[in-house]
Every structure is written in structure tokens, then in C-alpha cells.
Amino acid sequence: MTVLEQPGSYRPTPPPAWRPRTDPAPLLPDAEPYRVLGTEAADGLDAGLLLRLYGHLVRGRRYNVQATALTRQGRLAVYPSSTGQEACEVAAALALREQDWLFPSYRDTLAAVARGLDPVQALTLLRGDWHTGYDPHEHRIAPLCTPLATQLPHAVGLAHAARLKGDDVVALAMVGDGGTSEGDFHEALNFAAVWRAPVVFFVQNNGFAISVPLAKQTAAPSLAHKAVGYGMPGRLVDGNDAAAVHEVLTDAVRRAREGGGPTLVEAVTYRMEAHTNADDATRYRSDAEVETWRGHDPLALLEQELTARKLLDEAGMAAEREAAERMAADLRERMNQDPVLDPMDLFTHVYAEQTTQLREQAGLLRAELDAAAEAAPDSPEGKQR
């Protein structure tokens, strides 16, 4: 006999105790991505903020171009460009206060740089020189995360711990549309909502998880709609509208800081370049599609707004481009210097106390290095010794 066959087990309606814990209506995102630039809402924008966003976008575009060139020169092992997504990257960094934490994915080096990280340190991991390349505690930037979405539960844990301690800290976790198909994404949202953790989940929907389009990942109306299933607000924003992304993220961060709990923000944007330098994007998307999105370039959209309002002229644009070129030249010069690396650093900062296995592996590597140094005293190992 099954449960449904037992006497009195079937009820035509749910018991009186069943009620929605939360009214879903206020949690649902807008039907269309929120926009500011080119609308009446743009009239009330702060001119100083717009110019600051613009400067970061100009330098961010040049940073992406320079980093991509470094991969072709063999100075970087890999680089996932965020060209076309710079508005998301910059807005994420500028929406946070100094004490807040940023949890980036592997594509979010520009967000880390916009938050103040040295561009060379941001690229050190991608060159293969170091575990991370910077001190996460010093910069309030978690390590760039290559495994999809694993940084999201970490962000929730940090935010929850900060709340328990009474610290004024908000965590902003960035993830791509592909990452929303991972279990870590769902676990993080569920924990965050139940704990009302001060965290913002920021999904950059750039159309593809490498070569897989969004339509093959989810049947949801939008990724922002997933928020309602966890009891948090979902926001849908035009990811190429720097002012709109900044406004939505700033509002979500404020809400989290004031105890309102987490928010899921989906920014609809587009990855103009290939997934990485190892990817051939022509195999899964057309040149015509890319060109259509070039007409919605985040840098051009903001430039048009600023020039139309007479806040930016040719001299101002030239000054920002020159600053970007100086940044690129400095990055190029320092990345072209061969770093002095110690192979034993592989075992540094892995655990507070090395495990037995790590000590054994370190001993084996040390023996190999010593043997190489004895065999060739003029080798790098011998000189280092």
C-alpha cells in the first residue's frame, strides 16, 4: 500500500498551514532589462559619476586589448577577455565600499583592477607565476575563481560571518550565465536567502557558456527569475548601460547592508571576443551577430550620453585615451620582464599547516632541485641555491 492509498492520506487542497512564506510579486524582475542611458532617467544622473565610469571604461577596453596581445606574445598562458562587458566589470567595483568584498570569476580581472588592484598582480595567476598574485585580505578581493560558481558559497559564508560579527561588510559575487547551471549557484542562493546574508549575486549573461547558448542551459524566462524560487528579489538590467548597472548594483548593495538580505542581478551583455585565446568563436556564432552587438557597445553608449550633454569633448576623450595608453605601456613593460620564481612556492599558502602529503611532495621537489643544482651550478636552480 502506497502513501496515497492509505485512508485519509489524500487531500484535495493543501492543509491550512500551507501558505507562501513570501509574496512572490515584489521579487519578480521587470519584463525588460532596466536602462538609463538614452532615456529621461539619464537627466538626473550625477555628471561626476558618469565621467568616472567613462574613464574606467576607456582604460578597461585598453586593458583587455593589451592583455589579449600578451597572450599572443606568450607572456600570458590564457586570457578570458571581458571586452563588451566592461560596464558590468566597472560598475561592480564602483558599487562597493572599501570594507566590502568582491568575489570574481576568472573573467573578472578588470573588475579587480577597477577596484584598485595592480594590473600585473591581476594577471599573475593567468601567467602561471603564483597561486593568486595578490593578497586577498589586503584588497578585499577573493582569488580569481576558475572553477565555475565555487566562489558563490564562499561569498555567502564571508557575508554571513560578517553579519554575525556585526561588521559592516557586503559581499558581491560575480558569475557568468554558465555558472548558473552549477550546483554551487543554487546552494549559495538558498543559504543566502535563508540566512538573509548581506550578499549580492551578479550574473553577467554574455550569451554563451563557452559555446553553449543560454537557451540550451535554462528554460526560465530570465536568469533573474530564478531569484523568486529562493525568496530574494531578481533584477534584470542592460549590462551594456554602465549607469543602469551601477544604479542597480548600488541599490542591491545598499539593501544588503541595511539587513534586507541578498539580491540576484542579471546583466544582459555580450562577450565580443572569444571565450579565451584558445577558443574559436566562429564555430558557434556568426560575425553578423557580433556586429549587431557592436552597435550596443557600452563604451560608445556612455560616450554618446556624455557628448550629448556636453560633459565630454574631444580633448576630454583624448586625455582618457592617453591615460589608458600609459597604463597599457606600463603593463606591457612589466609583463615583459621575466619573473624570478621559486618552485618551492608551490607549497606556500596552501594550508596553514602543511599536510603530511604536502611535506612529502615538497621534499621530493627539493631533492630534485638540489640534484639539478649540483649537476649544473650555473643553472637557475644552482644560482638560486
Express each pLDDT in 195-232 by its tens digit. 999 999 999 999 999 999 999 999 999 999 999 999 99
> Residue 18: pLDDT band by 50, 70, 90 thresholds?
low
Q: What is the pLDDT of residues 61-112, one digit of tens each?
A: 999 999 999 999 999 999 999 999 999 999 999 999 999 999 999 999 999 9
**What gap in Å lies between CA 48 and CA 302, rounded to an integer?**
13
Average pLDDT, the chain: 92
**What gap in Å lies between CA 157 and CA 306, rounded to an integer?**
40
The arithmetic mean of pLDDT across residues 36-58, rounded, is 95
The helix-helix angle for 86-94 and 47-72 (nearest 10°) equals 120
Pairing of strands 212-213, 208-209: antiparallel
Residues 6+ apart with CB under 8 A from 124: 130, 132, 133, 134
Give the percent of the chain with pLDDT over 90. 82
Q: What confidence score (pLDDT) does residue 12 get?
A: 60
The arithmetic mean of pLDDT across residues 284-289, rounded, is 95
Does residue 11 have a pLDDT over 60? no
Q: What confidence score (pLDDT) does residue 155 get?
A: 98
Q: Tell me the catalytic residues.
A: 271, 275, 284
Q: What confidence score (pLDDT) does residue 133 get?
A: 87
The helix-helix angle for 242-257 and 47-72 (nearest 10°) equals 110
Identity of the amino acid at 113: V
Q: What confidence score (pLDDT) does residue 375 get?
A: 86
Q: What separation, in Å, do the N-terminal and C-terminal C-alpha atoms of the chain show?
A: 76
- 355 or 9, higher pLDDT: 355
Q: What confidence score (pLDDT) does residue 1 get?
A: 47
- Please state which of the ranges 96-105, 241-250, 275-284 shows the lowest mean pLDDT: 275-284
**What gap in Å lies between CA 33 and CA 287, rounded to an integer?**
24
Does residue 182 have a pLDDT over 50? yes
